[in-house]
Amino acid sequence: MRVILLQNVPKIGRQGDIKDVADGYARNFLLPKKLATAATPEAIAQQKTQLQKAAKQAELNLVATEKLAGQLEGQAFEVSAKASENDTLYAAISPAKIVSLLKSRGFTITRNQVNTEGIKEIGEHEIKLSFDHGLEATITIIVNPQT
């Protein structure tokens, strides 16, 4: 029986794949658990339409991500923080603080995109930002002692 997978199924395929499986496996496992649907001509046409929409959306997402990475690349952002006499910060500048700093400047990123454990000293720190599609941008965070 030919089916369209609605979810990833181990050892069978990924979501959206059209696969030939045993009739009993389809009727007794895949279809009742809503893991697949029968591959009728209408369902196949609908699947192709959805794949085209997904591809178009992925392309738009790539363009937006490239634009964001290009805008951020090489930028420097200053932040003030309380520090001890030996230039160690009392509270580290976490990825969440970096996200809120960038958000206040009009850039929308998530905590998972910031590749750092946290900044713990005064000075300049290069931070890598990872985006979808394998894109990266490097920014500089300049930490000044708070007066």
Q: What whole-number percentage of the chain has pLDDT above 90?
A: 86
pLDDT digits (tens, 9 = 90+) for 86-97: 889 999 999 999
pTM: 0.68
pLDDT attached to residue 146: 84
Average pLDDT for 26-36: 94
Per-domain residue ranges of the chain: 2-64, 68-145
What kind of fold does domain 68-145 have according to CATH? Ribosomal Protein L9; domain 2 (3.10.430)
C-alpha to C-alpha distance for 106 and 100, rounded to whole angstroms: 10
pLDDT attached to residue 87: 87
3-state secondary structure of 61: helix
Average pLDDT for 19-33: 94
pLDDT attached to residue 133: 86
Q: Which residues face 123 on adjacent strands?
A: 143
Non-local (6+) Cβ contacts of 137 within 8 A are: 68, 69, 70, 72, 73, 128, 129, 131
The yes-or-no verdict on residue 147 having pLDDT over 80 is: no
Domain 2-64 bears CATH identifier 3.40.5.10: yes
3-state secondary structure of 146: coil
Non-local (6+) Cβ contacts of 33 within 8 A are: none
The yes-or-no verdict on residue 78 having pLDDT over 80 is: yes
